[in-house]
C-alpha cells in the first residue's frame, strides 16, 4: 500500500515538474542479507521509491549502511535511515544535504523543496546571507533538528 495518497502524489508530481536537472537521491538503510532493518528504514525506502517514481529526473540509489561503510563515511552519513540529495549527471556534486529519519509530516515538504533546489543548482540565499557566509573562515557543521508538534 502506497504511503502517499493519490491526491498527494498528483500534487508532488506537479511540483516536481519544475525540476531542471537530474538529481541523485542516495538512501542508506540496512536489512539486506538477513540483518534486521532499522525502525523506520522500510517506510523511508518506500517513501523514497514513491517520490523517485514521480519524476524521471530523480535517480534513487539504495545503499546498505553496513555493507557500504566506506561510502557512508565518505558521504559523512553516520546514522540511518538517511537520504543524501545531490545533483546527478556528468559532474555530480554533493551539497551535503542529508535527511535523517523518515521525512514525513512537515519534513516531507523539506524533501520536495530540496529536490527542486538541487535540480535547479540554485541555493536561494540572499546577497546579504552570502556576504555573511563569506566572512566565515573555518569549517562549520550545521544541523537542524525537527520533531513533530
Report mean pLDDT in 10-residue bins for the chain, 149 residues: 89 95 93 67 91 96 91 94 91 88 88 94 87 91 72
> In the prediction, which pLDDT does 141 show?
82
The yes/no answer on whether domain 6-134 falls in CATH 3.40.30.10 is yes
Residue 33: DSSP 8-state? G
CA dist 15 and 92 (Å) reads: 23
> CA angle, corner 121, sides to 118 and 127, nearest 5?
110
For 122-149, how does the pLDDT look when each residue is reduced to its tens digit (9 = 90+)?
Answer: 777 899 999 999 999 998 888 777 666 5
CA dist 88 and 17 (Å) reads: 17
> In the prediction, which pLDDT does 3 show?
87
> In the prediction, which pLDDT does 39 show?
77
Delimit the domains of the chain by residue range.
Answer: 6-134
* 4: phi then psi, degrees, rounded to nearest 5: -95, 130
> In the prediction, which pLDDT does 32 show?
59
- State if pTM tops 0.75: yes
> In the prediction, which pLDDT does 13 show?
96
> In the prediction, which pLDDT does 77 show?
95
Amino acid at each position: 500500500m502506497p504511503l502517499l495518497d493519490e491526491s498527494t502524489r498528483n500534487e508532488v508530481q506537479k511540483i516536481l515538474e519544475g525540476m531542471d536537472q537530474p538529481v541523485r537521491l542516495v538512501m542508506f538503510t540496512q536489512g539486506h542479507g538477513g540483518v534486521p532493518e532499522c525502525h523506520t528504514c522500510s517506510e523511508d525506502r518506500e517513501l523514497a521509491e514513491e517520490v523517485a517514481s514521480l519524476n524521471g529526473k530523480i535517480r534513487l540509489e539504495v545503499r546498505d549502511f553496513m555493507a557500504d561503510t566506506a561510502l557512508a563515511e565518505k558521504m559523512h552519513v553516520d546514522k540511518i535511515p538517511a537520504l543524501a540529495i545531490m545533483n546527478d549527471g556528468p559532474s555530480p556534486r554533493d551539497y551535503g544535504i542529508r535527511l535523517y529519519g523518515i521525512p514525513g509530516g512537515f519534513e516531507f515538504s523539506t524533501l520536495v523543496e530540496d529536490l527542486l533546489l538541487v535540480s535547479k543548482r540554485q541555493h536561494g540565499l540572499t546577497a546579504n546571507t552570502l556576504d555573511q557566509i563569506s566572512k566565515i573562515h573555518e569549517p562549520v557543521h550545521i544541523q537542524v533538528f525537527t520533531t513533530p508538534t
